[in-house]
Structure 1
Amino acid sequence: MENEIKLTLEQEAPAAPTLTLEGAEPEEPQAQEGAKPTTLDESILSPEEQKMVDDFSQKINLQNSTMVMQYGSAAQRKIANFSDTALNNVRTKDLGEVGDQISNLVVELKGFDIDEEERRGFFGRFKNTGNKIIAMKSRYDSAETNVNKIAAALEKHQVQLMKDVVMLDQLYSMNLNYHKELTMYIIAGKKKLQQERATTLEQMKQKAKQTGLAEDAQAANDFAQQCDSFEKKLHDLELTRMVSVQMSPQIRLVQNNDKLMSDKIQSTLVNTIPLWKSQMVLALGLAHSEQAVRAQKEVTDMTNELLRKNADKLKMSTIETARETERGVVDMETLRHTNLSLIQTLDEVVKIQDEGRAKRRAAEAEIGRLEGELKQKLLDIHT
């Protein structure tokens, strides 16, 4: 046991767990009606502790009401303070913040992936490749800075978690010590209670029967009630002891969570982050290789494209040149068209001339008729 347990009747309880009959504030009994008393096995105590319990039980005075009310209160108060300490340890540890930081780390690692849409055109593709590498380097620098900040914060949390694991070990040992202390209080109290009921109470009852005096009967009744109160106080201590019993696995659960989170942080720091950095460096190297391969491919493709275009142009030029050199000065189609147009022109001229002659003859006849009508009109005027 880390802290030595001492039985004492001093007014103030020392820092180490002790058995005392005084020095604690009175508490109301929390006995549950109908609960059966718990039988504790004294074999869990060492011979020295058993002797300490036997000696201490003889100092218990059940006729002292104040002592009965305060019995074990110091140990109960230690358990209460200890529970507050353990609870505060859980409250002040924000494992959710660690989870958030790990989530932020995942976001940073995923955010490095760059997949830009390539521009069209030979020079556009070269420019886009260069921009992509620049963007990758910029994104990597930014992500690395944020990752390092998160890693530093996680390292601080890991250090605190490791300290908490050690502290919880100490709390676990303290709880075992308090549990042993309560057990000794209960065993000593039960021994004294059993002894007093079997001796002092029976003697007081026999005295009351023999004397028949009311004050002797009242004294026996008062002592019996005092024994009942002390039994309830012991039951109250057993309830407190149960709290201590439950505290041990709870401490281990919290400690195990701290260990798991510490291991998770350790894995992130020594595996995830270095692996990510190596992969990003590899990605940058591959991007440079990709740029060189793409440049060579573009040059080769452009060379082939130029050769194909020049071959097509040479073919067309050669064919047109040959075709033009084989043509006559005047195409037959042109001669036929010209001849047909000339014939049509002559026919049209002849037709127009014939129509002109016919119109002139008609006009001459019309003029003669008009002249005759005019003469006749003049003759008619003078006659």
Structure 2
Amino acid sequence: MPELVLPTMETVNPEPRELVAEKAESSLDIKNLSPEERKMVEEFAKSIDVTDSTVLVQYGAPAQSKISAFSDSMLNNYRTKDLGEQGKLLTDLVVEIGEFDTAAQKKGFFTSMKRQFEKTMAQYNKVNANVDTIVHKLEDHKRQLIKDVAMFDQLYEKNAEYFKEISLYIIAGKERLKEINDVTIPELAAKAEATGDQNDLQALRDMKDVVVRFDKKLNDLMLSRMISIQMAPQIRMLQSNETQLADKIQSTIMNSIPLWKNQIVIALGLNNAKAALQAQRQVTDMTNELLKKNSEMLKTGTIEIAKESERGIVDIETLRQTNSDLITTINEVVRIQDEGKAKRLAAEQELQKMEGELKQAVLAAAVRKNQ
């Protein structure tokens, strides 16, 4: 079985890969190919031996197997990852910082400043150690995400190559099919009509069967081509997701953590430097602040509880969506069944027609022999 070997993409078309894929997607006409590609496809089409069953079975298989293996490699790459770990680390980070703030608020206001400062410092050291551990893990994930973003560029390039290859297989197959329909079959039909020989009639029938099989094979290749088309935006979406997550981790490490530590250090320094009169003023200010916060928390909590209590167990939008999906599914099943029934009926009528034609041809041949 001859195999279609692609020239390098840069030689065939120097445009960016994205544009190459878009143009190849728009049409499978040989006229849209570059001169080098057209020459290669025309030569390959001539070498396709449609009378060889092995050729028909294996046609385009190399390109299909590459796309299949490519899909498996992408799936396996994600199976080996814990996709939720980065999000969990960010959540843990928020919890650690929140616990420190909560613990600070729970300190007694009427204890000595030294004792309060020592407790606050101990709590800060504990949270700071936990935060540093989480940050180290986030940095590891960020490095892996950056590697994955570069890997997705390579995957996109590979998919563009496989897409181009299978498109050329389809174009070559269509060219060969066109030649058979326009030249080979008319020649066989003319010969069979002229000789009336059963072997010639059978040769014509065999060639028509080959056309049907080859056309089905090209349709299978079209399905593989569509998989490759869909894979391109999927790769870009996955790449975008990982890029955004890497940016989020970077922002957290470089901005949020230093800001939090800076604010805590400032607070600790102020607490250590204040005198007794300042401490009394702090008590008063903190008391007012707590009253404001408690008031705000009471307001917010009451409103949220009221909202949640008025909410149904299942949102009407959810029920509307599920109901719409169910109706769509039922209609689609009925449509598919109707189409299948119509196709079977048409096939039955076609088989009856073909049987009648064959009987007529055999009978005509027998009559001519007896004359």
- TM-score normalized by structure 1? 0.64
Q: Deviations over 1:261-319 (max 9, x none)?
A: 00000100100111111111111112113455456989xxxxxxxxxxxxxxxxxxxxx
Question: Are the counterparts in 2 of residues 108 and 147 from structure 1 also a CA contact under 8 Å?
Answer: yes
Q: Deviations over 1:103-161 (max 9, x none)?
A: 000011111121245376xxxx32xx222211111111111111111111111111111
Shift of 1:254: 0.3
Query: Separation in 1 of the partners of 2:280 and 2:167?
Result: 85
Going from structure 1 to structure 2, the CA distance change for 1:14 and 1:116 (only over 3 Å counts) comes to same
2:29 to 28, 36, 41: 41
Q: In the alignment, does 2:242 pair up with 1:258?
A: yes
Going from structure 1 to structure 2, the CA distance change for 1:142 and 1:15 (only over 3 Å counts) comes to farther
Query: Separation in 1 of the partners of 2:161 and 2:87?
Result: 35
Shift of 1:69: 1.0
Aligned to 1:94: 82
2:257 to 243, 266, 273: 273
Aligned to 1:303: none
Aligned to 1:73: 61
Going from structure 1 to structure 2, the CA distance change for 1:239 and 1:92 (only over 3 Å counts) comes to same
Q: In the alignment, does 2:268 pair up with 1:284?
A: yes
Question: Are the counterparts in 1 of residues 108 and 116 from structure 2 also a CA contact under 8 Å?
Answer: no
Shift of 1:96: 1.1
Structure 2 spans left out of the alignment, 5+ residues: 10-25, 283-371
Q: Deviations over 1:69-90 (max 9, x none)?
A: 1100111111011011112223
Equivalent residue runs for 1:1-383 within 5 Å: 9=2, 40-42=28-30, 44-113=32-101, 114-116=104-106, 118=108, 125-126=111-112, 129-290=113-274, 292-294=276-278
Q: Deviations over 1:9-51 (max 9, x none)?
A: 26xx999999xxxxxxxxxxxxxxxxxxx96133553221111
Q: Normalized per residue, which structure has more helix?
A: 2
Aligned to 1:366: none
Going from structure 1 to structure 2, the CA distance change for 1:247 and 1:119 (only over 3 Å counts) comes to closer
SS at structure 1 position matched to 2:105: coil
Aligned residue pairs total: 264
User: Which of the pair has more CA radius of gyration?
Assistant: 1
Shift of 1:227: 1.1
Question: Are the counterparts in 1 of residues 142 and 249 from structure 2 also a CA contact under 8 Å?
Answer: yes
Shift of 1:95: 3.0
Going from structure 1 to structure 2, the CA distance change for 1:254 and 1:296 (only over 3 Å counts) comes to closer
Shift of 1:65: 1.1
The one-letter code sitting in structure 2 at the alignment partner of 1:191 is E
Q: Deviations over 1:324-350 (max 9, x none)?
A: xxxxxxxxxxxxxxxxxxxxxxxxxxx
The one-letter code sitting in structure 2 at the alignment partner of 1:66 is T
Structure 1 spans left out of the alignment, 5+ residues: 1-7, 19-37, 299-383
Query: Separation in 2 of the partners of 1:112 and 1:96?
Result: 25
Where has structure 1 moved over 3 Å in runs of 4 or more? 13-18, 41-44, 116-120, 290-298
- TM-score normalized by structure 2? 0.66
Going from structure 1 to structure 2, the CA distance change for 1:272 and 1:297 (only over 3 Å counts) comes to closer
Stretch deviating more after TM superposition (39-48 or 282-291):
39-48
Going from structure 1 to structure 2, the CA distance change for 1:17 and 1:63 (only over 3 Å counts) comes to farther
Going from structure 1 to structure 2, the CA distance change for 1:17 and 1:214 (only over 3 Å counts) comes to farther
